[in-house]
């Protein structure tokens, strides 16, 4: 576990560096460089990712699967970094504060540690599965709510127009409140912190959700990730371990 504490510190330092740069350069880095349907890429995505990849290469050069670069140093390895340099790019460009730097470490494909740095809000969520989770260094835990009718569900509308609207509606209707904040990493961090009780979404990528899922499990909850390869869209649900996982 000591090794993973050191790796968590490396991830946290890399996320802090990228978050600080994103905060300082928001006006200059918000130019749109590509659009595909509802997906938007801005200059900040590649700039922040370059900072993170350089930091990880220097300190812990495991293979990386990243939003912009795809696979970096791909090969057989028990440990793989999953990096989303800016989850919530449109939010960032518009000044909507729900965006984050997200860095996770996967062990045999399963998230074991995560950092979600919500730099616009000054909140950094960190967690190590089997040990604990923290918000700005203070321990955090999932909520105690067991009844979805009393709980808050975090979700999102898939970027690809392939989801059945009724599936989304059925997923939502048993919960007291539903929130869509435009950042899967932040939504999962809020479940880990007990601000919401569950998360479910169709179509996110591993870099969107790996850090947040690690946070949820480290904070006492659980998650399920379904799908094929790590570079393919996934079905993801997570929760406090008391309320049933949404589907």
CATH code of the domain containing 22: 3.30.540.10
| Per-residue pLDDT, 2 | 62
Mean of all residue pLDDT scores within the chain: 92
- For residue 192, name the pLDDT band (cuts at 50, 70, 90): very high
Q: State the residue range of the domain holding 192.
A: 148-239
Exposure of 98 in the CB half-sphere (CA atoms within 13 A): 13
Share of the chain above pLDDT 90, in %: 80
Reported as a single tens digit per residue, the pLDDT across 86-121 is 999 999 999 999 999 999 999 999 999 999 999 999
- Is residue 11's pLDDT more than 70? yes
Asked if 120 and 169 sit in the same domain, the reply is no
> How much of the chain is in helix, strand and coil states, percent to nearest 5?
35, 30, 35
- Asked whether residue 247 is assigned to any structural domain, the reply reads no
The CATH number for 224's domain is 3.40.190.80
Q: Is the dihedral of CA 91, 40, 235, 116 positive or negative?
A: negative
Asked if 127 and 155 sit in the same domain, the reply is no
Q: How far apart are CA 171 and CA 242, in angstroms?
A: 17
Residues 241, 220 contacting (CB under 8 angstroms): yes
Q: How far apart are CA 40 and CA 105, in angstroms?
A: 26
Q: What is the mean pLDDT of residues 53-62?
A: 97
Burial of 129 (0-12, 13-18, 19+ CB in 10 A): buried
Of residues 173 and 199, more confidence is placed in 199
Reported as a single tens digit per residue, the pLDDT across 157-170 is 765 555 566 667 77
Domain end: 139, 166, 183, which one? Answer: 139
Q: What is the mean pLDDT of residues 232-238?
A: 94
| Per-residue pLDDT, 80 | 97
- Is residue 198's pLDDT more than 60? yes
- For residue 227, name the pLDDT band (cuts at 50, 70, 90): confident
- Asked whether residue 82 is assigned to any structural domain, the reply reads yes
- For residue 79, name the pLDDT band (cuts at 50, 70, 90): very high
Residues 6+ apart with CB under 8 A from 179: 152, 153, 154, 155, 187, 196
- Is residue 210's pLDDT more than 60? yes
For the chain, the domain total comes to 2
Residues 215, 238 contacting (CB under 8 angstroms): no
Asked if 179 and 123 sit in the same domain, the reply is no
Instruction: Mark residue 203 as left, alpha or beta (left: phi above 0; alpha: psi -120 to 50; beta: remaining).
Output: left
Share of the chain above pLDDT 70, in %: 94
pTM summary value: 0.94
Q: How far apart are CA 110 and CA 63, in angstroms?
A: 14
């Amino acid at each position: 576990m000591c090794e993973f504490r050191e790796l968590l510190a490396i991830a946290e330092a890399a996320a802090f560096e990228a978050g600080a740069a994103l905060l300082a350069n928001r006006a200059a880095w918000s130019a749109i460089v590509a659009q595909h349907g509802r997906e938007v890429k801005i200059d900040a995505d590649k700039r922040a990712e370059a900072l993170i990849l350089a930091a990880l290469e220097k300190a812990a050069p495991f293979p990386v699967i990243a939003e912009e670069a795809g696979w970096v140093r791909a090969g057989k390895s028990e440990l793989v970094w999953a990096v989303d340099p800016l989850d919530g790019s449109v939010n960032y460009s518009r000044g909507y504060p729900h965006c984050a730097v997200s860095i996770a470490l996967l062990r045999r494909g399963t998230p074991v540690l995560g950092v979600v740095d919500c730099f616009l809000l000054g909140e950094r969520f960190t967690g190590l599965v089997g040990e604990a989770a923290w918000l700005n260094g203070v321990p955090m835990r999932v909520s105690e709510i067991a009844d979805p009718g009393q709980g808050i569900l975090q979700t999102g509308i898939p970027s690809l127009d392939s989801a059945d609207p009724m599936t989304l509606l059925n997923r939502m209707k048993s919960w007291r409140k539903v929130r869509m904040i435009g950042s899967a990493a932040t939504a999962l961090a809020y479940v880990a912190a007990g601000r919401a009780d569950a998360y479910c979404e169709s179509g996110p990528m591993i870099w969107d959700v790996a850090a947040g899922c690690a946070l949820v499990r480290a904070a006492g909850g659980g998650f399920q990730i379904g799908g094929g390869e790590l570079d393919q869209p996934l079905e993801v649900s997570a929760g406090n371990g008391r309320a049933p996982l949404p589907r």
